[in-house]
Chains A and B, each alone.
Chain A
Amino acid sequence: MCARVADIASRIPGARVEATLSGEVLVVPPAEWRSACEHIALTGMELSDLTLIDRAETLDVVAHVFDSPAECLQLRTSLPPDTPRVASVTSVWPSADWLEREAAEMFGVTFLDHPDPRRLLLTDDFEGAPLRKAFLCEESSW
């Protein structure tokens, strides 16, 4: 696994591998997000989850890919919180379609070239990005 990840990291400019308690994390620059995912998919890994983490200075896109229960890898890239835009990986893994739709509406992120960028869980007239730290829940006033 380590050798495989190191091999992929060597093909992507600007990528680095972090070792964490929960396994290895392949961190790539935002511009390389789709090509990194394509490299990963070529080795046969499938997408398990794709979401975002709102850290104050950045908005991290986190994707979990796996080959088998034992072989898991976390992919990460950091976006600027003001204008978060990253390439969609739906063309790489079709399951990213709904995952990106949910992440987009919950965090206010734009996934470029997404085949179906509609709201998934929120109403069409919903304003704001609910899962961002800055979003505050008001008491409903029905």
Chain B
Amino acid sequence: MTIRTEGGVVLSGLDRLVAWGRSRSLWPLTYGIACCAIEMMTAGSPRYDLDRFGIIFRATPRQCDVMIVAGPVTKRMEPVIKLLYEQMAEPRWVLAMGSCAISGGAFAGSYNVLPGADTVVPVDIYVPGCPPRPEALMAGLLELRDGIRRGVPPKGGVARVRSGG
């Protein structure tokens, strides 16, 4: 039995199981740069509780599925964010949280801030807000989870071709 997704991806049985498992265990990399990090931490706190979705924050990119860029990316940070993205194991997704990560936000046009994280890393989900409320971040993560379950590939692409099961 197969599912046809809107991206034109066809998933076979084992792939569906793997995709479902991945979506229910989405581990983000804590990349809190500025104020959005506070809302990201709040989303993980008991009142909003991301843990019930299987979302556990990890500090090392090697163990992560998604990088939540929470805050403005400065020019000085550009090689760092690129390095951390490349250190993540595939499949890997990126969520741009807040106006600064989406477009430079309040600092767009400034002398030291990049106009969006997508100038450096391929972004899959954009969560607008300044800062987005924890519920908004949760909505973005749930959207990403849904996409992962349906088999939508990451924006950055996957290096190896996965064989059907």
A residues neighboring B (CB under 8 Å): 121-123, 126, 128, 130, 135, 137-140, 142
Contact call B74/A121, Cβ cutoff below 8 A: yes
Number of chain B residues whose Cβ lies closer than 8 Å to a Cβ of chain A: 12
Give 5 nearest A-B pairs by CB, closest first. Answer: A130-B111, A123-B75, A123-B76, A139-B109, A140-B115
Chain B residue with minimal CB distance to A124? B76
B76 in complex: contacting residue of A121, A138, A139, A142, CB < 8 Å? A121
B115 and A142 contacting across the interface, CB-CB below 8 Å: yes
User: In the complex the two chains form, is B109's CB within 8 Å of A142's CB?
Assistant: no
Whether A122 contacts B115 in the complex (CB less than 8 A), given A137-B109, A139-B109, comes out as no
**How many contacts A-B (CB < 8 Å)?**
30
Write the residues of chain B forming the contact surface with A, with a CB cutoff of 8 angstroms: 74-76, 104, 108-112, 114-115, 119
Which residues on A sit within 8 Å (CB–CB) of B108?
A: 140
A142 in contact with B112 (CB, 8 Å)? no
Q: Are the CB atoms of A142 and B119 closer together than 8 Å?
A: yes
The answer to whether B76 and A122 touch across the interface, beta carbons within 8 angstroms, is yes
A121 and B109 contacting across the interface, CB-CB below 8 Å: no
Nearest residue (CB) in A for B115 is: A140
- Given A121-B74, A122-B76, A123-B75, are A137 and B119 neighbors across the interface (CB < 8 Å)? no
- Please report whether the interface of chain A is mostly helix, strand, loop or mixed according to DSSP: loop
Contacts of A126 in B (CB 8 A): 75, 111-112
Q: How far is the CB of A121 from chain B (nearest CB, A)?
A: 6
Query: A122 CA to B119 CA in the complex, in Å?
Result: 18
> How distant is the Cα of A13 from the Cα of B108 in the complex, in angstroms?
47
9 A-B pairs within 8 Å (CB atoms) are namely A121-B76, A122-B75, A123-B112, A126-B111, A130-B111, A138-B109, A139-B109, A140-B109, A142-B114
Give the Cβ gap from B5 to chain A, nearest Cβ, in Å. 32
Q: Which residues of B contact A137 (CB under 8 A)?
A: 109-111
Determine the distance from Cα of A137 to Cα of B109 in the docked complex, in whole angstroms. Answer: 7
Task: Say how far B104's CB is from chain A's closest CB, in angstroms.
Answer: 8
B71 to chain A, nearest CB (A): 14
Which residue of chain A is the closest to B104 with respect to CB atoms? A140
The reply to whether B109 and A130 contact each other, CB–CB distance below 8 Å, is no
Determine the chain A residues whose CB is within 8 A of the CB of B111 once the complex forms: 122, 126, 128, 130, 135, 137
Residues of A within 8 A of B115 (CB): 140, 142
CA A142 – CA B109 in complex, angstroms? Answer: 11
